[in-house]
Amino acid sequence: MATIYDVAKRTGLSASTVARALTGNGYCSQAAKATILAAAEELGYVPHQAAKTLKNNITKKIMLCIPDIMNPYYFAMIHGATQTLERFGYNIILGYTMHSPKKELEVLDSLKGRYVDGLIFGSFDYTPKLLRAIEATDLPTVITSFYENGENQDFYDCVYMDQPRAAWTATEYCLKNGHTRIAFLGGDAKEQNTKERFAGYKKALGEAGIPIDKALTINADFTREGAYHAFHNFIQQGRECTAVVACNDLMGIGCMNACQELGLDIPGDISIVSLDNTDYSLCTNPAMTSVDMMQGQVGEEAANFVMSRILDKRTYQKNMAFSPVLVERHSVRKLK
């Protein structure tokens, strides 16, 4: 990685002049500053924030990146990670990637400045390109899903919920209550998160001898609004189901909102099971049956894993998977 001394050598200016130009502190002529900035960009200079403040390059900060800051799924994860890191004397910096692959890469590129000591990274869709960008940060990293990239995986750990099992649990509960026309309300069908949950839904139906009906697959965007519109359209198009497996609590609430507007009773007409078991599932009428995804424990162990890489200098991969637990409430009716 280029340093201010490399920039000084390239421009023929002193290191102190280069430092003033790059930090904006102290006088530097406009002409010299323009020359320095051009050389810094050409050399790929990235300010080393930790080195500016601590001689040992320890920032005592971990970045936790999440794709959706409005999704209550992440609240318990942030809480669990924060509490654990505080025991090590570390703080969290929260990164918000807006469910955008472009933004994910931008955030990861910024981390080359090493203003944090480690990374906990959440995404709806891990890809080879995203993993290469994570590796390029050269930071101790934990991702909050399982992803097998087929190459060297020792540079990151996986701490995650068994997503297929979670969707299987929700679907199997509907089946146990006599439902056979069960709709799947998920996110983008191309993304890992939706693929894994759909696999669990499909497995449960297959075990019950029920073929997949594409007409019962509804794709939205993991938001309440998106689920509301998607399920509203589903009903208005004349499609029918007796139960819905919603891929998060927000989508379950959106489905409820659509049912209420259309005059459908829950659970009399439509039964709903969601995933996540956030506090939001307690605030619906009726209270929503939901699958606990252990977000708090995922946050805690992700923090423990990243700290073991930092403190113990561990260089091999470790993975931890959590199993889901169904929390039964009042949004599912038992069919006769």
Residue 34 in any domain: the answer is yes
Q: Cα separation of 318 and 258, whole Å? A: 43
Q: Using one digit for the tens of pLDDT, what is the confidence trace for 148-194?
A: 987 789 999 999 999 999 999 999 999 999 999 999 999 999 999 99
Please tell me whether residues 36 and 81 are part of one structural domain: no
Read off the CATH number of the domain in which 79 is found.
3.40.50.2300
Q: Residue 243 pLDDT more than 60?
A: yes
Residue 304 in any domain: the answer is yes
Please tell me whether residues 201 and 238 are part of one structural domain: yes
What is the model's pLDDT at position 240?
A: 96
Angle in degrees, 0-180, between the axes of helices 4-11 and 30-43, rounded to the nearest 10: 120
Residue 148 in any domain: the answer is yes
Q: How much of the chain exceeds pLDDT 70, in percent?
A: 97
Q: Residue 330 pLDDT more than 60?
A: yes
R_g of the chain, CA atoms, integer Å: 24
What is the model's pLDDT at position 4?
A: 87
Q: What is the pLDDT confidence band of residue 23, given thresholds at 50, 70 and 90?
A: confident
Residue 53 in any domain: the answer is no
Please tell me whether residues 170 and 157 are part of one structural domain: no
Please tell me whether residues 180 and 285 are part of one structural domain: yes
| Residue with the larger pLDDT of the pair 46 and 53 | 46
Please tell me whether residues 155 and 186 are part of one structural domain: no
Mean pLDDT calculated for residue range 19-26? 83
List Cα–Cα distances, 81 to 28, 63, 140, 147, 208, in angstroms: 43, 10, 15, 20, 39
Please tell me whether residues 190 and 227 are part of one structural domain: yes
Measured in degrees and rounded to the nearest 5, phi and psi for residue 327 equal: -110, 105
Please tell me whether residues 171 and 206 are part of one structural domain: yes
Please tell me whether residues 72 and 175 are part of one structural domain: no
Please tell me whether residues 273 and 203 are part of one structural domain: yes
Q: Which residues span the domain enclosing 300?
A: 61-161+295-323
Q: Using one digit for the tens of pLDDT, what is the confidence trace for 214-228?
A: 999 999 999 999 999
| Six token digits for residue 34 | 């323009």
Please tell me whether residues 75 and 175 are part of one structural domain: no
- How many domains does one find in the chain? 3
Q: Using one digit for the tens of pLDDT, what is the confidence trace for 30-44?
A: 999 999 999 999 998
Q: Residue 263 pLDDT more than 60?
A: yes
Q: Cα separation of 180 and 85, whole Å? A: 45
Q: Which residues are CB-neighbours of 221 under 8 A, at least 6 positions away?
A: 99, 187, 188
Read off the CATH number of the domain in which 27 is found.
1.10.260.40
Q: Which of 3-7, 72-76, 100-104 has the lowest average pLDDT? A: 3-7
Q: Residue 58 pLDDT more than 80?
A: no
Q: What is the pLDDT confidence band of residue 50, given thresholds at 50, 70 and 90?
A: very low
Residue 334 in any domain: the answer is no
Residue 102 in any domain: the answer is yes
Please tell me whether residues 313 and 243 are part of one structural domain: no
Average pLDDT of the chain, as a whole number: 94
Query: How many CB atoms sit inside 10 A of residue 59's CB?
Result: 20
List Cα–Cα distances, 31 to 10, 19, 38, in angstroms: 15, 15, 11
Residue 30 in any domain: the answer is yes
Q: What is the pLDDT confidence band of residue 27, given thresholds at 50, 70 and 90?
A: confident
Residue 55 in any domain: the answer is no
Please tell me whether residues 156 and 301 are part of one structural domain: yes
DSSP string, 81-107: HHHHHHHTT-EEEEEE-TT-HHHHHHH
